[in-house]
Amino acid sequence: MKRKVTDPVPAYWPADPYPIAFVGEAPGEEEAFAGAPFVGRSGWLIRAMCRDANIPINHCLITNSFDTRPVENNVKLFFLNKTEYKKWRGENANAELRGHGGYGYIRPDHVYNTDRLAAELREYKPRIIVALGGTAMWVLTGEHKITEYRGTITRASELGLDIPVIPTFHPAAVLRQWELRPTVVMDLIKARLVAEGMSTSPPERELWINPTLTEVLEFVDTYVKPSPIIGVDIETHWVERLIRCIGISPDPHHCLVIPLIHTFNEKNSYSYWKPEEELVVRKILALILEDTTKKKLFHNAAYDVQWLANEGMYTRGEIEDTMILHHALQPELPKKLGFLGSIYTNEIAWKHMANFREGNKKDS
């Protein structure tokens, strides 16, 4: 029987399962007529990228957030706008629909897709789900800004599932922006590593914040002095030309954040320390940075080092820069610290947990 373009497209179930599930957005025209997901240009590309990442995609579950093709491939048509939703709520006072920050509210006649997708994933039991694009990420996690959350491992909590999810760009986006291809391949490699047993949990850490002078001295004696390498990072207030705080980390498990200004003051211009304490703290920081027996590790060192020098703290000895090291390894990829975290670690998108007020310099 000849298929219609409006017919639902079922998931692809492999005969010999590999523990990765791919969730896309919705079928395109070729998928709708073929009755199978990802058989068009996007399907060709995701298979090519999976080959680069050594993922046997033909042994993976492949499905979509919505199982029917939207008119003109416009996924927004699966959602009610605010006016439509207000009218619907007036007729269904005791009911609610899931909201999407960019599209609106999912239409009642498409709500079944959430239950369908949850049932598919519950039955397949993947070790990790690759969310292809912002729509798939939203259905699984509730977040919809793919550029901010791609590469960071979270959970399929919106479907009531405790399964890791790694969002990445949809292959259709890569077809439009070919420079995204290496990033997607790196995300797929991470997905494969998780499927093969890599832990999704970040290392345990002990963060010392809002310290007293005694705590600063204790941290330096206990952790900094024995360490041959010190990670250093600063946060700055660009408008007032101030260093807000300096973080130092001698190992993957301990970090001390030393404030220089009182972050709770409206103008961010008052010292965190008493005058006599600040002199001691600045001397300690200067001694650490000037110690030529310790290697210093920065991200975008040229920026941090000049700010520290303006404050009378000069960095001497060997310096390593994760931005330059990453560029030497992957020159075609972005260089921001958040991007490196999404590629090389299992960190969450930490920048979106903070509240940066206007005038603050977000670390690059």
Amino acid at 284: I
DSSP state for residue 280 in the 8-state scheme = H
pLDDT recorded at residue 10: 95
Amino acid at 174: V
pLDDT recorded at residue 352: 64
Rounded distance between C-alpha atoms, residue 168 and residue 184, angstroms = 6
Find the angle CA(105)-CA(74)-CA(115) to the nearest 5 degrees: 50
pLDDT recorded at residue 361: 39
Rounded distance between C-alpha atoms, residue 74 and residue 5, angstroms = 14
**The tokens 């025209």 sit on which residue?**
29
List the pLDDT tens digit at each of the 364 positions of the chain: 677 778 899 999 999 999 999 999 999 989 999 999 999 999 999 999 999 999 999 999 999 999 999 988 899 999 999 999 999 988 888 888 999 988 999 999 999 999 999 999 999 999 999 999 999 999 999 999 999 899 999 999 999 999 999 999 999 999 999 999 999 999 999 999 999 999 888 888 999 999 999 999 999 999 999 999 999 999 998 777 889 999 999 999 999 999 998 765 555 457 899 999 999 999 999 999 999 999 999 999 999 999 999 999 999 999 999 999 999 998 989 999 889 999 888 877 776 665 544 444 344 3
CA distances for 138 relative to 10, 114, 143, 339, angstroms: 20, 11, 5, 20
Strand 99-100 with 104-106, pairing: antiparallel
Enter the tokens of residue 297.
């590790």
**Per-position b or e across 158-191, b if 16+ CB within 10 A of its CB:** bbebebbbbbbbbbbbbeeeeebbbbbbbbbbbb
Rounded distance between C-alpha atoms, residue 309 and residue 289, angstroms = 10
Rounded distance between C-alpha atoms, residue 297 and residue 295, angstroms = 7
- SS3 percent helix, strand, coil of the chain, rounded to 5, is 40, 20, 40
- Which ranges of the chain does DSSP label H, i.e. alpha helix? 29-34, 41-52, 82-91, 112-124, 134-141, 146-149, 171-176, 181-195, 213-219, 275-290, 301-310, 322-329, 337-344
Rounded distance between C-alpha atoms, residue 300 and residue 308, angstroms = 13
Residues paired with 235 in a beta bridge: 245
pLDDT recorded at residue 267: 54
Total-model pTM: 0.86
Contact 267, 258 (CB under 8 A): no
Rounded distance between C-alpha atoms, residue 229 and residue 254, angstroms = 13
Helix (H) or strand (E) holding 64: strand 61-64
Q: How buried is 21 (Cβ within 10 angstroms: 0-12 exposed, 13-18 middle, 19+ buried)?
A: buried
Rounded distance between C-alpha atoms, residue 86 and residue 80, angstroms = 9
Contact 129, 108 (CB under 8 A): no
Helix (H, G, I), strand (E, B) or coil at 296: strand
pLDDT recorded at residue 346: 82
